[in-house]
Homo-oligomer: A and B are copies of this chain.
Amino acid sequence: MDQQSVPQTTINRLPIYLRCLIRAQSMRMPVINSVGIAEMAGTNAPQVRKDLSYLGELGTRGIGYDVDALIAHISRLLGLTRDRRAAIVGFGRLGSALLGYPGFGEHGCAVVAIFDSDPAKIGTLPLGIEIRDVADLESVLRELLVDIAILTTPVEVAQTMAERVAAAGVTAILNFAPVRLEIPPEVAVRQVDLSTELQILSFHLAERRRVE
């Protein structure tokens, strides 16, 4: 099956399936069926089978999916077999919290560079990683072969920083600043937006109230 044709919605669910499969693996389950994955992942069995069918014929009829083989296959498709190198741009509270997040190391993603503009921070070594002057952004990103930029800057400078990391050849950005980045389409952007999420939750609270 053509890998290009895997729908984005399926891609978005693969990390969730992967997490479930790793849990199954840790429970010593050699095989799991679509119902089992669906229950763990909070979806339904046909959805799981359809999603996995885009990756190829990975299951065995009458049996289910081999847990180890499926983990290997999804990991490869998601590019998790190759170690990813991330940079944190903007080392305030949030950047600092993310650096300490164990999720990076667990998923083959290493923070290899940190940037800030505050002279008091530049040169310090949180968790052994030197904080660099954001003035040197482009050269350091290229030198350290960074593939993912994590933007935790103030909103005012996020667009500029996005343009600069993109110009330095970084093609994946995780943006925590509440602004929609305008950058070339070959750069993948994932937006994490706290106030948007809170507002969506607020809508649900308001709706509950309206129904009652």
Contact = CB atoms under 8 A, between A and B. Distances in A.
Interface residues of A, number: 63
Interface stretch (A46-54, A94-102, A113-121): A94-102
Contacts of A197: 174, 190, 192
Contacts of A210: 3
Interface stretch (A26-34, A74-82, A131-139): A74-82
Interface in A168-212: 171-174, 178, 180, 182, 186, 188, 190, 192-211
A84 B198 contact: yes
A112 interface: no
A18 to B, nearest CB: 7
A199 B182 CA distance: 22
A164 interface: no
Contacts of A3: 207, 210
